Amino acid sequence: MAFAVAGALTGAPLPAPRQAALRTFHDADGAALDQGLLLCFRAPASFTGEDVVELQGHGSAAALDALLRAACVHGARVARPGEFSERAFVNGKLDLAQAEAIIDLVDAGSARAAKAAFQSLEGRFSTRITALAEALVAARVFIEGALDFSDQDVDWLADADLHARLAALDEDLQHLSADAQRGRALQQGLTVVLSGAPNVGKSTLLNQLAGVDAAIVTDVPGTTRDLLREHLTLDGLPVTLIDTAGLRDTEDAIEAEGIRRAWAAIEQADLVWFLVDDRQGMSADDAALLTRLGPARPCWRLANKVDLSGGVVGWRPGGDPPTLGLAAKAGQGVADLVAALHRHAGLNASDEPLFTARTRHVDALRRAAAHLRLARTQLADQAFAELAAEELRLAHDALGEITGRFTQEDLLGRIFAGFCIGK
């Protein structure tokens, strides 16, 4: 179909595959629309694995729109978002992790993220997943074979080499999970919530990091009443900063709603920055708020306004949560804060980017690791060997979700629907 449409648009013979030729493109009535390059890619040697034609015009939006309409008259249709990548996946040209890396590359907010996305597209992440999956299959074959021959006098399941292989698999899976966490931070970034009592400098810190007056700053308590989100890239790390209403008891209905939303944002955050005014130190109210935050969400205490308190800029030894002295308005201590944020994400400026990953990848690796650990425990008691074999199957299936070997159709639809048109 692609070649037929191209022939109708140009009214001339198609060039040899992968050779560019200058052609004039015509509308349905034969009138010339534009002149540009035509390239043909025959299946299976194309991005999608199907016959593909590229028309390279001059870039005018009007001319390209007219050319698109003419192509549709001759039998083409506008691609759905992500359809080209989806066809490449269906035809085995890419696995699912590689296909997702395409949109990661398009959306990359820094050179480091772009490089990591390209590593995923080249298959660095997928290769490691495949190696783990193959090792799991080998272990499953061994265990299930031992179960089939359990009537013999050989205790196959006590084989020390089997247990050593599973232990090595567990370790490799932990390393890959840690790398995927870093890749997720590069691709999706971190969500950081600024919290604390009113007038401790939350909005001032947000403005300092954003480089603009994104939030209104006054001495009046309750100035910030709704969530204010700023999407930043801090030394290559994507960060969503959420400024929240000051946490306190209030009779003001609007401010109370802002405080409710603040707590909801804290529940979903990757990290909470709890600000206090260093001139006053930790109050009983601050301590109560920190207690309410609880241990479930990572939290740092930022002792702000050290330029007014006479305090020291920098991280303070000991303490739970960790405490950083800074002066947000003057920008003192902000570099220390950004550097710590990179360490929290598992990223160091000197590290070579590995690959990008997504939350679903990290979750699949977490489940695979849990199934593998349970299998090792069950295998220690040979009475549960059949259950161990099933846990290894579940671990294998979880890895298959990452590359698309075991992926539900509705998940595929959601993934490719997030792509831009033409990808």
Same domain, 72 and 194: no
**Which pLDDT tens digit goes with each residue over 138-184?**
888 878 777 665 555 445 556 678 888 899 999 999 999 999 988 98
What CATH number does the domain containing 49 carry? 3.30.1360.120
Same domain, 74 and 195: no
Whether residue 83 lies inside any domain: the answer is no
Q: Given 344, 374, 396, which residue is the final one in a domain?
A: 344
Whether residue 369 lies inside any domain: the answer is no
Q: Given 344, 371, 393, which residue is the final one in a domain?
A: 344
Distance in angstroms (rounded) separating the CA atoms of residues 64 and 228: 39
| Contact call for residues 258 and 185 (beta carbons, < 8 A) | no
Q: Structurally, how many domains does the chain consist of?
A: 2
Distance in angstroms (rounded) separating the CA atoms of residues 192 and 205: 12
Range of the domain at 36: 2-78
Q: Given 48, 78, 108, which residue is the final one in a domain?
A: 78
Cα torsion through 118, 119, 124, 126, rounded to 10: -30
**Which pLDDT tens digit goes with each residue over 254-277?**
556 666 666 676 777 788 898 999
Whether residue 6 lies inside any domain: the answer is yes
Whether residue 239 lies inside any domain: the answer is yes
**Which pLDDT tens digit goes with each residue over 171-216?**
999 999 999 988 988 888 888 988 888 788 888 898 899 874 443 3
Indicate the pTM of the whole model: 0.73
Whether residue 232 lies inside any domain: the answer is yes
Instruction: Tell me the helix, strand and coil percentages in the chain, rounded to 5.
Output: 50, 15, 35
